[in-house]
Structure 1
Amino acid sequence: MLYRIAVFILKILAFLIFNVKTHNSEKYNNSDGRYIICANHISMIDPVMLAISSKRKICFMGKKELFKNKFLGYIFGKLGAFPVDRSGVSLSAIKSSLAVLNRNEILGIFPEGTRVEKYDEKNAKPGIAMIANKANSNIIPVYIKGNYKFRGKIDIYFGQEKNYFENYTGKINTEKYTEIGKEILRDIYDLGKDR
C-alpha cells in the first residue's frame, strides 16, 4: 500500500518536473510473471523513473550506504528495497534477490553498481547473471536516456525479455557469469543506440 501511494505521488511530481516518455513497456506491464529489470544508471532518480513506468511493484537492490540512516532505511525497506555491499560478495543481497523472485515479483538492479556516464563492459558484474540463473528468471534490459533538468526529456526504453542461459548447459563458473553480465550490459546500451 505504501509503495502504491509513494509511486502515485512520485508520478505526479515526475511528470510536472520532467517530460517523461516510456517506450515498449506494454508487454511487461501486462504480464504477471517474475522478471529482473536491469537498467543503466545515470542519476539517483533512475529508480523513481523505473517505478513510475511500471504498473507492478519493483523491489530494488540499493547500495548499503543508503540504508545507514535508520529512518530512510526503514522507508526503503517498506518500499521493498534491500541493501547490497558493493565491495564484495553480498550473500544477504543474493538471498533477498532470490526471495523477491521466488515470490513472482520484480527485481530491479543497476548492474553497473554505480552511476556512470557511458558504456564500459568492464563495469559488468557476474552477480546479476548468477541471480538470474539460480532463480531461473528472465531479464528485461532497460535504457534510460535523458537530462534531469527542469522539463528535460526522459525516455525509458524497455527491451525484450530474455533468457540468457538457454544456450548454456552444465555448471557455470564465475567467468561465464561475467561474460553473461557483459552481454546484459550490451543489450541495455543497444537500446539507446541511434536514439
Structure 2
Amino acid sequence: MNLYPLGKALCSAIFYPFYRIKVIGKENFPKDGGVLLCTNHIDNLDPPVVGITCPRTVHFMAKEELFELPILKSVLPNVKAFPVKRGMSDRQAMRKALTLLKEGKVVGLFPEGTRSKDGQLQKGLAGAGFFALRGDAVVMPCAIIGPYKPFKQLKVVYGKPIDMAPYRERKASAEEVTAVIMAEIQKLIETNN
C-alpha cells in the first residue's frame, strides 16, 4: 500500500503553517532521472519535511532500529523508506539504493549518519560518496535551516545538482566525494542563514 501521497498531504497541512516552511531552489531539482538527495540532519522531523518539500517522491534510507518500532514498522515501508544497518557495510541496503537510482528514482540520505547535537554540520560518512560514485544519478545537496520552533521560519534549500562525471572519470575516493557534497551543503547553510 502506498501511503506516500496521503502522508505528504497530511504532513504538508500540519508542517507548512506550524514551522512556516520556506522552500528555496525547488526549480534546481531534476524533473526525472536518478537523484541522490543528500541533506544535513538536525531533527527527527527532517525526513517528512524533506519529503513534503521535494517535488518528487523520496525513498529514504532509514536506520534499521526504526523498523522495529510498533507503528513505524508498518508505516515506513509504505512511505517508501527502506532500512540500513548503521556502522557496518549493509549490502542489501546498498543494492536497494543503487537499484532505485538506476530506475531513475530519488534516494534520500543524511550523510552525517545521525542527527547533529548542536545543529552544526558534522563530517559526512563515506557512504554518501560511494552512492554518488556508483549510482547512475546526479547528486542534489539540500540544507535544512532551523530551528524547529513553532511559528519560526524553517528553510529547506535545494542547491544545484553536483555533476559526478569528473569524479567518476578520475576515480575519486568515496571520502573525497563525500567532502565535496558536505561542502556544498555547508555553502547552502551559510548563504541562506
Q: Is the 8 A contact 2:138 2:163 kept in 1?
A: yes
1:186 is paired with a residue of what secondary structure? helix
One-letter amino acid of the structure 1 residue matched with residue 101 of structure 2 = L
Which whole-Å CA distance do the structure 2 matches of 1:7 and 1:170 have between them? 40
Instruction: Name the CA shift for 1:178/1:155 in 2 (closer, same or farther; >3 Å).
Output: same
Q: TM-score, normalised by structure 1?
A: 0.90
- 8 Å CA contact retained: 2:102, 2:136: no
Q: Which residue of 1 aligns with 2:75?
A: 75
After the TM superposition, which of the residue ranges 124-133 and 182-191 deviates more from structure 2?
124-133
TM-score by length of structure 2 reads 0.91
Match of 2:180 in 1: 183
After superposition, residues 25-40 of structure 1 pair within 5 angstroms as: 25-28=26-29, 31-40=31-40
1:1-195 alignment runs, 5 A limit? 1-28=2-29, 31-116=31-116, 117-120=119-122, 123-169=123-169, 171=171, 176-194=173-191, 195=193
Please give the alpha-carbon distance, in whole angstroms, between the structure 2 residues aligned to 1:12 and 1:71.
Answer: 21
Uncovered stretches (5+) of structure 1, i.e. residues with no partner? none
How much identity, in percent, do the aligned residues show? 26
Q: Distance in 1 between matches of 2:167 and 2:111?
A: 21
Quick check: 2:126–2:178 contact (8 Å CA) kept in 1? yes
How far residue 89 of structure 1 moved from its aligned partner, in angstroms, is: 1.0
Q: Which deviates more, 84-93 or 2-11?
A: 84-93
Give the drift of 1:27.
Answer: 3.4
Query: In the alignment, residue 187 of structure 1 is paired with which amino acid?
Result: E
SS at match of 2:166: coil
Aligned residues: 189
- Describe the shift of the 1:167–1:129 C-alpha distance in structure 2 as closer, same or farther (beyond 3 A): closer
| Distance in 2 separating the partners of 1:25 and 1:88 | 33
Per-residue displacement from partner, 1:41-75 (whole Å, max 9, x unpaired)?
Answer: 00000111111112211000011111112541221
Q: 1:55 to 1:17 in 2, by over 3 A?
A: same
Rounded Cα–Cα distance in structure 2 between residues aligned with 1:168 and 1:2: 36
CA–CA distance in 1 between the matches of 2:133 and 2:25? 25
Unaligned runs of 5+ in 2: none
> How large is the RMSD of aligned CA atoms in angstroms?
1.6
Once the two structures are superposed, residues 92-122 of structure 1 have per-residue CA deviations (whole angstroms, 9 ceiling, x without a partner) of 11011012112211000000000112134xx
